[in-house]
Amino acid sequence: MTFLKNIIGLIFRGLGLALKYIFLTISSPVWLPFWLIAYLVEHIAFVRNALIATDLYLPFKNMERTPLRFALTVFAIFIAFLIYGALTAFDNAMNAGVDLAADDRLVTVNKINFTQTLPIAYAQKVTAIEGVDSLVHMNWFGGYYKDPREQVITFAVDQTKLLEVYGDDMLLDETHHKNWLRNQQGLLVGELVAKKYGWKVGDRIPLNSNIFSKMDGASVWDFVIEGVYSGKFKQADTNGVYFHYKYFNEALAFGSNQIGWLGIKTTDPSINEKVIKAIDDMFVNSPFETETVPEKAFNKSFIARMGDIGLIVTSSVSAAFFIILVIVGFSMALAIRERTNEIGVMKTLGFTSRRIFKMVLMESMMLACLGGTVGLAASSFVIKQVTSSPQFPLAGLMLNGEIIMQAIILMVFLGLITGIVPAINALRLNIITALSRR
Amino acid sequence: MTSIFSQILTVMMMNIRSLPQRFWMSFSATLAISVVVAVLLSFLSMSKGFEKTLEGAGSENTAIVTRSGSKSELNSVLSNDIVNIITAAPGIAHNAAGQPIYSPELFVIVDGIRRSSKLKANLPMRGISSVGFELRSNVEIAEGRMFEAGKNEIIVGKAAQREFAGFDVGTEVRFGKTIWTVVGLFSTGGSAFESELWADTRTVQSQFRRGNSFQTVRVLLETPGDVQGMVDLVKQDPRLVLDIQTEAEFFSEQGEALSGLVSIGWALSIIMSLGALAGALNTMYTSVSDREREIATLRAIGFSNISAFFGTLVESIVLSILGGFIGAIASYLFMNGRTTATMGGNFTQVGFSFEMSPELFQDGIYLALIIGLVGGIFPAWRAARLPVILAFRGGV
C-alpha cells in the first residue's frame, strides 16, 4: 500500500515538475520582460531612486510581492492587448481604402448595381462635362492564375488614362509605363501580386477569367508583364492588375463595348457635388441610369457590402476586455483586502489617506500599463511575422499612431476601473477596524 | 484503497460546499470562462448556420450546369444554343410529353437597402420559370401570388424580405429605369433561395438586356446523383466548356465560404482562453492559500495528499464547467435563431440564422473543461505539497 502510494507520489511529482518547466519555457517570452523590469528596478540604483522619488516604489513592490498572482494578472492583460492590437490593425487595414481615397476622385456605376455594365459611349460623354479633369473606364475581369481559387484582382482599363486619374497613388517607372502602353497584351502588376507569385517584368503570364471567354472559346488570356507598380503610401493596396481594354474588348465572345464603371478625377474637390449632379442628370431616364459617388463613399460602401467585419472585431475585442476587467478587478480587490492590516499600520505611521489612495491606484495603473505595453509589443511582433509572408494580401497591416494612442487610453482606463474601488476602500479604512480585522 | 476514494470525496465535497466563501474570486473565473465559451460558440454557430442554409439549397436530384471555371451562378454565361445541346444529354429525366425537364435561369445583382445598417447591399435576382419551381423542393407562396409571365412582377424570398427594406407585398421597387411590383412572398424551407428575388425569365432577359442568354441550367436527373451522361457529353463536344455538378455538391462548395470564420473563432477563443486560464489559476491559487490551514489540518488528522490534490482539482473543474454551461446557455439564448446576412459565393447577401447544435455545445464544454483542468492542476499540486506543520502554527 505504502509502496503504491510512493509510486503514485513520485509519478505526480515528476509530472508536476515536468509540466512546470515545460510551461515556464513555453511562456518565457511572456514573463521574461517582467522579470527583467523587476531586476532592473532592484539592481540599478538610478531606476530605484527615480521610483522612490516619484512615490512609485511602494506600489511597485506591492504589485510584485505575490509574484505568481502578479504574473497571472499581467498575463491576462497582456492577452487582451494582444487581441486588441492585432484585430484593430486588421480592421484598419481593411478600411485603408477609405482613408486613402482621394477627395478629388469620383466613381460612376450603374444605378441598379455596380455589377451591371454601362455602354462605352458614356466615357466620351462624361469627359465633356465641365469640372471633369480626366477619367478612366474599367471592367472587372474576374481573373485567376491557373487555379480558380487563386484569384487575381484584374481590371481591363483604358490604358492611356489610368495614370492620369490614379497616377498620384501609383509609383511606376516611366519606361515601364511606356512599354505597357505600347504592348496591347501588356500587364501592369501591383507589387503585392508580383511578390505573391514571384512575377518579374518580362514574364509571360496566362490568366483565366471566371466570367469572360474569348471568341475562339478559349478562357486563357496571355499577357506579358511590362511593369510593376508600388503604392505611394505604405497602406496602399497593390493587389490590382491592369491590362488594355482594347485587348479585352476585341477578343470577347459576348458583352463587348460595355464598361464596368468610370473612375473620374475632378478639377477641384469643391465642385464634386456639381459634377456628380451633371453626370447623373445626363443619363436619367436612359436605359442605363448612373450613380456617381465620391471615391471615399464608394470604398466605404464596398467594404460594408462585403460584410460586417467591424462588428466582429469590436465585439471580440470587447469580450476580451470584459474578461480581463473582471479578472484584474477582483484580484486587485483581493490584494488590497489581504493588506488591510498593513494599511492600518501605514496610516498609524502617518501615511495620509490620500497617499494610500494614490498608491493603490498607481498599483493598478502599473499593472495595466505593464501588461498593455508588452501585449501591444507582442501584437506588433505577430503582425510583422504575418505580413512578411509573401502570401499575405493586406499591405496596411500595422500598428499606427492612432491604435497606440487608443491603447494607452485603454490602459489608463483599465487601471482606473480596476483600481478605483479598492483605492476608495483603502482611503476610507478606519485604523481601528483595519488593525482589528484578521 | 476505498479509504483514498472516500477521502477524496470528502475533501471534494468540503471544497465545493465552501465555494460561497470565496464567491467573488470564483465568480470572476467562472465569468471569464463563460465569456470565452460564448465567443467561441457565437463564431461556430454563425458558420454552422450559414453552411446549413446553403446545403439546404442543394438537391441530389438536380444537376446544375455552369460555364467551366465560373464557380458561381453570377459569373456563368450560357447561350441558348449551349442550353439546347446540353439538355439533350443522356441521364436527364423527361416529362410525359418526352421533353427533358430543365430550367434555364438568369442571375443578376440589384441593390437593396439592408434593414440593419441602412446601407446598400447586393441582392440576387433570379429569372426563373415554372419548371424551376418544380426542381426545388419546399417552394411555397407564403403571401400574395405567383408572378405572371411577361409582366414586371417579382416574388420575394422570406430572408430577403427580412434583411432588406422595402419589399413588402404590394409595393413597387425600381431597378434602374424599370419599375417592378412585389406580388408575393415565398419560402423554401430556410434554404439560400429565400435570400433571392424571383421573376419571370423572359422578362428579366429583356429588362436586363441579356438577349437570349442564360447563366445556369438546372436539370432533373433520372438517377439522383448521377451526372455521368452529361459529363461524357461535355467531354466529347468541344463546344461545351461546362462544369456539371449536382446541386448539392455545388452548394456545399459555396457553404465553405465562411469556413474561415471557424478557424478565426477557434484561434480567438484559444487566445482568450489563455487570459481566462490566468484568471482560473489566480482563483485556485487564492483558494489554496486561503485554506492552507484547513488543508494542513486535514493532512494532520490522516487525510492523504492525494485527496488534497483531487479536492482542489475538482473544485476548479466544477467552476469551469459551470462557466462553460453559463456561456453556452447565454450564447444559445442570444444567438440561436438570430438572423443575419453576409456575403456568399455569388457576391450577394445570403440571409441565414445562427445555428446551435449539440456538437457545438460539446465543443464549448470541452474548452471550458480544458481551462478548468489546466487551471486546477498547478494549484492542486501546491495543495498536495503543503507542509502539515502549517496546521499547528498559531495566528497568521
Rg of the Cα atoms in chain B: 30
Q: Which three cell numbers stand for residue A217?
A: 472559346
The answer for residues whose C-beta is within 8 angstroms of residue B144's C-beta and 6 or more apart is B155, B169, B170, B182, B183, B184, B185
3-state SS class at B245: strand
- Contact between residue B206 and residue B199 where contact means Cβ atoms under 8 Å apart: no
Helical H segments across B87-141, by residue range: 130-135
User: Phi first, then psi: what are they for A399, rounded to 5°?
Assistant: -85, 110
> Does the beta-carbon distance from A333 to B381 stay under 8 Å?
no
Alpha helix (H) ranges present in chain B?
Answer: 2-17, 23-55, 80-86, 130-135, 158-163, 201-207, 228-236, 247-254, 259-290, 292-300, 305-335, 358-385
Instruction: Please report the pLDDT score of residue B396 as a whole number.
Output: 44
Whether the CB-CB separation of B92 and B99 falls below 8 Å is answered with: no
Grid cell, residue A293, equals 459617388
Cell numbers representing residue B36 in the block: 470565452
Q: Strand, helix or coil at A263?
A: strand
- Dist. CA A357–CA A423, nearest whole Å: 5
CA A245 to CA A374: how far, in whole Å?
A: 51
Q: What's the sign of the alpha-carbon dihedral A424, A426, A427, A431?
A: positive
CB of B45 closer than 8 Å to CB of B355? yes
Q: Which of A1, A111, A112 to mutate to test the interface with B (most CBs of B within 10 A)?
A: A112
Q: What is the pLDDT of residues B65-98, one digit of tens each?
A: 998 888 889 889 898 999 999 999 999 999 989 8
d(CA B200, CA A100): 43
Report CA dihedral (B25, B26, B27, B32) to the nearest 10 degrees.
90
Q: What is the mean pLDDT of each run of 10 residues along chain A (438 residues)?
A: 81 85 79 79 85 85 84 90 91 84 93 91 93 94 87 93 91 93 95 92 92 79 94 85 94 85 94 94 91 92 77 84 88 87 90 91 92 92 85 78 93 94 90 80
Determine the distance from the C-alpha atom of residue B317 to the mean position of all C-alpha atoms in its chain, rounded to a whole number. 29
* Cβ count within 10 A of residue A178: 12
**pLDDT of res. A17:** 86
* B16, B312 contact by CB (below 8 A): no
The verdict on A348 touching B (C-beta cutoff 8 Å) is no
Size of chain B, expressed as the number of residues it contains: 396
CB A367 within 8 A of CB A360: no
* Cell 419546399 sits on residue: B138
Q: How far apart are CA B76 and CA B65, in angstroms?
A: 9
Q: What grid cell was written down for B301?
A: 488528522
| C-alpha triplet A60, A65, A67: angle, nearest 5° | 105
**Mutation for A interface: B71, B125, B177, B264, most A CBs within 10 A:** B177
Report the Cα A302 to chain-centroid distance in Å.
18
User: In angstroms, rounded to a whole number, what is the distance separating the alpha carbons of residues A333 and B41?
Assistant: 31
CB B206 within 8 A of CB B110: no
Whole-number Cα distances in Å, A422 to A362, A432, B22: 12, 18, 17
Cross-chain Cβ contact A76/B278 below 8 Å: yes
Among partner residues B28, B213, B285, which is closest to A68 by beta-carbon distance? B285
**CA angle in degrees (0–180, nearest 5) for B46-B248-B355:** 20
Cell matching residue A126: 462624361
**Residue in B36, B70, B347 closest to A115 by CB:** B347
- On chain A, the residues whose CB falls within 8 A of the CB of B31 are 323, 326
* Helix, strand, or coil (residue A238): coil
Cα separation, B67 vs A148, in Å, equals 13
Q: Is A5 on the interface with B (CB under 8 A)?
A: yes
Q: Number of A:B CB contacts under 8 A?
A: 157
**A chain contacts of residue B286, beta-carbon cutoff 8 Å:** 69, 331, 334
Q: How many CA atoms lie within 13 A of A244 on its CB side?
A: 20
Note the pLDDT of residue B2.
Answer: 63
Distances (CA, A) of A335 to A342, A412, B61, B164: 11, 19, 67, 53
A12 contact residues in B (CB cutoff 8 A): 309, 381, 384
Residue of A nearest to B342 (CA): A307
3-state SS string over A152-216? EEEEEECCCCHHHHHCCCEECCHHHHHHHHHCCCEEEEEHHHHHHHCCCCCCEEEEEECCCCECC
Report residue B62's pLDDT band, with 50, 70 and 90 as the boundaries.
very high
Compute the distance between CA of residue A429 and CA of residue A342 in angstroms, rounded to an integer. 11
String of DSSP letters for B16-73: HHTGGGGHHHHHHHHHHHHHHHHHHHHHHHHHHHHHHHHHTT--SSEEEEEETT--ST
What pLDDT is stored for residue A438 in this prediction?
Answer: 58
Under an 8 A CB cutoff, do A330 and B238 touch? no
Q: Which residues of A touch B352 (CB under 8 A)?
A: none
pTM as predicted: 0.85
d(CA A162, nearest CA chain B) in Å: 25
Which 248-307 residues of chain A touch chain B by CB within 8 A? 254-255, 285-289, 301, 304-307
Nearest to B9, CA basis, from B293, B289, B310, B386:
B310
Distance CA A406, CA A424 (A): 27
Amino acid at A78: F
The x, y and z cell numbers of residue A179, run together, are: 512599354
| Residue contact A301–B119, C-beta within 8 A | yes
Amino acid identity of residue A321, one-letter, is F
For residue B248, the one-letter residue type is: A
* Grid cell in block for residue B246: 449536382
Within a 13 Å sphere around the CA of A364, how many CA atoms are in the beta-carbon half? 31
Quick check: A131 and A266 in contact, CB under 8 A? yes
Planar angle of CA A371, A375, A379, nearest 5 degrees: 175
State whether residue B99 is helix, strand or coil: coil
Q: What is the DSSP letter of B94?
A: B
How far apart, in whole angstroms, are the C-alpha atoms of residue A420 and residue A328? Answer: 12
The pairing of strands B120-128 and B197-200 is parallel
pLDDT at B395 over 70: no
Instruction: State how beta strands B164-165 and B197-200 pair.
Output: unpaired
**B202: confidence class by pLDDT, cuts 50, 70, 90:** very high
* CA-to-CA dists, residue A31 to A38, A70, A367, A373, B376, angstroms: 11, 10, 13, 13, 20
C-alpha distances in Å from residue B289, one per residue of A110, B262, B383: 70, 39, 8
Distance from CA of A45 to the nearest CA of B (A): 32
The region that residue B189 occupies, defined by phi over 0 for left and psi between -120 and 50 for alpha, beta otherwise, is left
* A211 and A142 Cβ atoms separated by less than 8 Å: yes
Report, as an integer, the average pLDDT of B325-334. 92
Are the C-beta atoms of B117 and A304 separated by less than 8 Å? yes
